[in-house]
């Protein structure tokens, strides 16, 4: 019967780094069930950040980025000998359990995440996270736009109106109506990230009778991330 497990030998390409992207299953429904604040719910985001931290620690990730209901994990050290089925299923179920553990809520259905694996080389890393961060910004503009329109029009009218508008038109429209998206919290525009933060420490080495510099690090949840750049990823030691 073991021969029937035809997907079990599928593996990540050798020597490749990977990004695992999770996305909440039917979180639109979950948001309704939990009566989440629209367009952004701070409790939901706090839980999301804890899930990111759990994933970072459990799978020794190098960088984790999240917005809305999606989480991307950058992994230099490939778990489970690179087995695709195992990576996708364990990481997705771990995220769902972590989500439930951190959420103080009565769920109507068990939350779940889907998962996919993207093999990347060094040059892809910045490109990938910029792509997702651009999506975060699009999501921010659209969700503020639709929330505002729904407060003025019926759901159908609001949907029709937003579908006929380009991103910069929604931005301008909100501005004309007193909502300046440039002034809102950073995490709503750019998402949140978890990474290791390094601190330089100088201590006295008694044996050698001189001051010595070393680095200490701790896992950091960043709610104030910049627009991703090569400098940022170098500074946090994600790329060389």
Query: In this chain, which of 27, 148, 187, 228 binds Mg ion, going by CB under 5 A?
Result: 27
Per CB under 6 A, does 135 bind ligand GTP?
Answer: no
Q: Give one DSSP letter per residue of 29-81, joined into a string.
A: HHHHHTT--SS--HHHHHHHHHHHHHHHHHTT-SEEEEETTEEEEEESS-SGG
Of the two residues 24 and 111, which places its CB atom closer to Mg ion in the complex?
24
Q: Report the nearest approach of ligand GTP to the CB of residue 24 (Å).
A: 5
Of the residues 28, 216, 218, 240, which one makes contact with ligand GTP according to CB under 6 A: 28
The site that binds ligand GTP (CB under 6 A) totals a number of residues, namely 16
Q: Which of 11, 25, 86, 196 binds ligand GTP (CB under 6 A)?
A: 25
Nearer to ligand GTP, 24 or 79 (CB): 24
Q: In what order do the strands lie in the sheet with 70-75?
A: 113-120, 17-24, 70-75, 63-67, 192-205, 210-222
User: Side-chain half-sphere of 156: how many Cα atoms within 13 Å?
Assistant: 0
Binding mask 158-187 for Mg ion (x = CB under 5 A): ------------------------------
Could you tell me how far CA 132 lies from the centroid of its own chain?
9
Return the axis-axis angle of helices 167-176 and 122-152, rounded to nearest 10°: 50
Work out what residue 28 binds among Mg ion, ligand GTP, none; the CB cut-off runs from 5 to 8 Å by kind: ligand GTP
Using CB distances below 5 to 8 A depending on partner kind, what does residue 41 bind out of Mg ion, ligand GTP, none? ligand GTP
């Amino acid at each position: 019967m073991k021969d029937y497990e035809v997907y079990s030998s599928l593996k990540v390409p050798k020597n490749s780094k990977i990004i695992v992207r999770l996305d909440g299953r039917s979180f639109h429904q979950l948001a309704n069930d939990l009566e989440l604040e629209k367009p952004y719910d701070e409790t939901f985001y706090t839980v999301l950040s804890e899930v990111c931290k759990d994933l970072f620690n459990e799978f020794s990730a190098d960088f984790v980025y999240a917005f809305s209901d999606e989480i991307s994990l950058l992994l230099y050290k490939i778990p489970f000998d690179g087995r695709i089925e195992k990576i996708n299923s364990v990481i997705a179920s771990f995220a769902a359990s972590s989500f439930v553990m951190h959420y103080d809520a009565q769920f109507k259905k068990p939350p779940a995440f889907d998962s996919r694996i993207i093999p990347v080389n060094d040059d892809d890393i910045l490109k990938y996270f910029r792509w997702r961060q651009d999506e975060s910004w699009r999501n921010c503009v659209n969700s503020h736009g639709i929330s505002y329109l729904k407060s003025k029009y019926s759901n159908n009218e609001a949907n029709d109106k937003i579908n006929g508008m380009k991103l910069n038109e929604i931005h301008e429209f909100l501005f004309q109506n007193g909502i300046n998206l440039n002034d809102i919290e950073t995490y709503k525009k750019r998402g949140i990230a978890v990474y290791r933060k390094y601190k330089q420490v100088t201590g006295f080495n008694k044996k050698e009778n001189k001051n010595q510099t070393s680095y200490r690090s701790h896992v950091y949840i960043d709610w104030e991330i910049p627009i991703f750049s090569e400098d940022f990823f170098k500074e946090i030691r994600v790329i060389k």
